[in-house]
Structure 1
Amino acid sequence: MDDSGRRQYHVAVSLFNGRGDFIGIFRLTHRLDELDQLENQLTQSVFIFSFVSIVLASFIALHLTNRVSRPLKQIETVINHISEGDYSEYYKGMDYPEIMALGQTVNKLADSLEEKNRTILQSNERLSALLDRLIVGVVLLDSEQRIEMMNPAVYQILGIDENLLGRSFLEMSKSYGLVQIIQQTYQKKKNRNEEIYIYYPNERILDVNTMVVPDAKGNQVIVLLYDITEIRRLEKVRTDFVANASHELRTPVTALKGFSEVLLDGALDDPDRLRQFLEIIYKESKRLEILVNDILELSRVEQKQVPMKREWISLNETVETCFKIIKPQAAAKGLKLRLLSNNADPIRFIGDQSRLEQILNNLIYNAVNYTDKGGKISVLLEETEDEIVFHVADTGIGIPEESIERLFERFYRVDKGRSRNSGGTGLGLSIVRYLVQNMGGTISVKSTLGLGSTFTVHLPKVVEEL
């Protein structure tokens, strides 16, 4: 530093001649103010350059980051929509090839997932519709015997509420037999098939199948409930029909055989006994003929092998015709036959005249047969916009309530003695029921013991021109 305190820069160099003798010292002194100023300027320039470079680099980096992150965020948005089940969002960017390739891959993934999801939904809808329409009850139970799935048939068969998912099936079921089958299935881990009776909500016979379905959480069980009540009833009807038909056929055949043997044993030589036995043989053969004809007729109408004619019918005239046929039997018992109608004009419609007469003859004949002397038999006719209705009412002995459900069964007789004495086969009402059904109608009966019975037939009204 000099005397004023300013910094100086000193340089000293020794001087020598050619022979190497020291001749003096060269000294140079320079103040550093200018160098300090130059250094400061250089430092400021470097700082400014560095700051500008950093700011510029930041802007460039931010711009590049935005260009890269924006399409990535779009891809992220698309993926989030896919995870929520919305496949309508697509990546539409046109930036870097690598990102475009990634976006197109995501788009293809969305299309593939949407197609697979649509296929699964359609399969689930078909399965759900199938289960809803099944008459077989289907229940899926988890490893804790809780309900995971149950179709509507189960509600009807077992009479339980619909909102039972997640609850214990065994607590909901009112059938001890069903509970036992399910518990044994879980315990033994084996499929089971049993036939059980249940008594709630109605008495039914169920064919129960249980199937073990192993899964990661344990053993699930599928329970199938098939209501076979009607099948068992029809089997019993068939068995009863065979037994009753055999019995009904055996009676006249036995009589024919017995009296034929008596004649062969010598009664042919006795004119009085011969005539008596021939009359019995004729009566029993006639009864056998009627029985066989009724069995064949029932078989035809039951299988709808009887073609229905289409012709104009006057219901009033048909009833009058039936009255003329049955009048001798009614007169013999002092019965009054009455035709009543809620329509001033004759009721006319299109149908099968002979089949309608067959229905009315059977119903009126039964009324005459089961009405005691002095009673009344009335046929009331009604006509509505859609239906033809007729009621056959009597003041007869009536029908016990427990017999009404079986009244239309083959060979079923409320009073077997009275029916056989009148020559009935026990098939008339069965034939009537099938004829009415084949004509698109319904038949019902109301009865009070000691007061009489009323059979009501509803037939669809057909009036278009032939």
Structure 2
Amino acid sequence: MAEIEIGKIVSAIPIPAFFVGANFRVQVPNDAAREIFGPEIEGRHYVTALRQPAILRAIEAAVSEGRRVVGQYTVSGPVSERKFRVTAALLEGGAPQGVLVCLEDVTPVYEAGQMRRDFVANVSHELRTPLTALLGFIDTLQGPAREDAKARDRFLSVMAREAQRMNRLVGDLLSLSRVEFSEKQMPDATVDLGEILSASVATLATDTAGDRLKLDIAGVDPSIDQVRGDTDQLRQVFNNLIENALKYGGETAPVEVTLSAVPQDLYLRTRSLRVDVQDRGPGIASHHIPRLTERFYRVDAHRSRELGGTGLGLAIVKHIVQRHRGRMAITSETGAGSCFSVIIPVA
């Protein structure tokens, strides 16, 4: 096999690849390999060019054992790492003899696995806390507090609260699972966003919150400005955002819900409807904002649990908005409040 033929073969491989010749120097790296290792990799001894022990061991084993060997290689970036599965195979039967090395990017697989592990750990932690409380109170009621009526009533009240918390968590987990399952299927019904918002506000306008809620849907023509959507899911989105604003925006601060038409959204590149849920609370520090829609991420974990939050609400909102081919925007200023916006293209 001539060297020119090896060069053509390596260049045609769609993933990063290069050839280590009989002189143990890197030959004919393709463009994808040059992007990872730099153009200076060509002609260098593979030990000085690659450095990482796992990929070096794979090449050495392929040479010494004459078989295909799998290793790994990690590229560190300013924010995250890229993980590669390395396959090193000895080429025999002609000159030049050497090892063909290919690198497959497995970063998405690795990240998905890490997300699953984090998710299981978070769910376990969220369930363990109320379960531990329940078991402790049950032991106390079966023992020292068996005949103590006051303690029994107090403990049963706490147990009911913890059981409700677990029920909310399980409900949100099921809701998140259903939303993710249907995320790629866009709703086919046409709905009036103003009606859905009005229903959400009416639901949440209790005796204590009614005078704090202000709804403005002026300037939107329901005969024209409708969206393709799932009514129940959109109700869930706005209920969640308005409820969060009422909970975390301060006990007396107003919450303003505004529906407006956007002639041409910059990102969706089409006429859209925008819903802004604005509170006048303490606001959110800027470093928290990019992570607010992550599962179980909380700005103030203790306060969130006290108020009954599961840490899944905004994750559910994000997936529902994505299913409606819309986008979500969050702006906040410390001491001045926060605004959660949902933008959905007009049908």
TM-score (norm 1): 0.58
Q: 1:42-90, CA deviations, whole angstroms, 9 ceiling, x for partnerless residues?
A: xxxxxxxxxxxxxxxxxxxxxxxxxxxxxxxxxxxxxxxxxxxxxxxxx
User: d(CA) in 1 for partners of 2:185 and 2:57?
Assistant: 54
Return the structure number with greater helix share.
Answer: 1
Partner of 2:255: 377
User: Are 1:203 and 2:80 counterparts?
Assistant: yes
One-letter amino acid matched to 2:294:
E
Please give the alpha-carbon distance, in whole angstroms, between the structure 2 residues aligned to 1:187 and 1:263: 64
| Counterpart Cα distance in 2 of 1:393 and 1:278 | 38
One-letter amino acid of the counterpart of residue 126, structure 2: E
The equivalent position to 1:412 in structure 2, one of 284, 297, 301, is 297
Between Structure 1 and Structure 2, whose CA radius of gyration is higher? 1
For 2:16, the equivalent position in structure 1 comes to 137
8 Å CA contact 2:325, 2:345 repeated in 1: yes
| Structure 1: unaligned runs, 5 residues or longer | 1-123
Looking at structure 2, the residues matched to 376 and 230 of structure 1 have their Cα atoms a distance apart, in angstroms, of 43
Q: What CA distance in whole angstroms lies between the structure 2 residues aligned with 1:275 and 1:338?
A: 41
Indicate how the Cα distance of structure 1 residues 214 and 182 shifts in structure 2: closer, same or farther if over 3 A, else same: farther
What do residues 166-222 of structure 1 show as CA deviations (whole Å, max 9, x unaligned)? 972759xx9864598369837983565433432347632322333333464434443
Specify the code of the residue in structure 1 equivalent to 2:80: E
Compute the displacement of 1:352 (Å): 0.9
Q: Structure 1 residue 326 and structure 2 residue 204: aligned? A: yes
Match of 2:115 among 202, 226, 237: 237
Q: Please tell me the residue identity of whatever aligns with 2:314.
A: L
1:148 aligns with 28
- Tell me the SS of whatever aligns to 2:227: strand
User: Which amino acid is the alignment partner of residue 250 of structure 1?
Assistant: R
Tell me: CA distance 1:202–1:419, structure 2 relative to 1, closer, same or farther (3 Å).
closer
CA deviations 1:314-362 (Å, max 9, x no partner) are: 2122222222333339739x85545366x44243223211100111112
Provide closer, same or farther for how the CA distance between residues 138 and 303 of structure 1 changes in structure 2, counting only shifts above 3 A. Answer: farther
Q: Percent identity?
A: 30
Deviation of the 1:258 alpha carbon: 2.7
1:413 is paired with a residue whose SS is coil
Residue in structure 2 matched with residue 194 of structure 1 by the alignment: 71
The aligned residue for residue 5 of structure 2 is none
Q: Which amino acid aligns with 2:313?
A: G
Deviation digits for residues 114-141 of structure 1, max 9, x if unmatched?
Answer: xxxxxxxxxx99x95xx45xxx433445
1:263–1:274 CA contact under 8 A, matched in 2: yes
Q: Does 1:212 align with 2:97?
A: no
User: Among 164, 171, 176, which residue is 1:286 paired with?
Assistant: 164
Distance 1:188 1:223 in 2: 10
Q: Which has the higher contact order (CA 8 A, sep 6+)?
A: 2
Q: TM-score, normalised by structure 2?
A: 0.74
Structure 2 stretches lacking a partner, 5+ long: 1-7, 264-269
In 2, Cα distance between equivalents of 1:234 and 1:177: 27
Distance 1:213 1:159, change over 3 A: closer
Q: Cα gap change, 1:212/1:299 in structure 2, threshold over 3 Å: closer, same or farther?
A: same
1:255-404 equivalence runs, <5 A: 255-265=133-143, 267=145, 269-304=147-182, 310-328=188-206, 331=209, 335=212, 337-339=214-216, 343-346=219-222, 347-380=225-258, 381-384=260-263, 385-404=270-289
The equivalent position to 1:458 in structure 2, one of 340, 343, 346, is: 343
Q: Distance in 1 between matches of 2:318 and 2:247?
A: 19
Letter in 1 for 2:30: M
Tell me the secondary structure at the aligned position of residue 320 of structure 1. Answer: helix
Instruction: Check the 8 A contact 2:62/2:90 in 1, yes or no.
Output: no
Number of aligned residues? 325
Q: Which amino acid aligns with 1:203?
A: S
Provide closer, same or farther for how the CA distance between residues 378 and 140 of structure 1 changes in structure 2, counting only shifts above 3 A.
farther
Partners of 1:330 and 1:336 within 8 A in 2: no
Alpha-carbon distance, 1:426 to partner: 1.0
Task: Call closer, same or farther: CA 1:395–1:147 in 2, change over 3 Å.
Answer: farther
Q: Does 1:228 align with 2:106?
A: yes
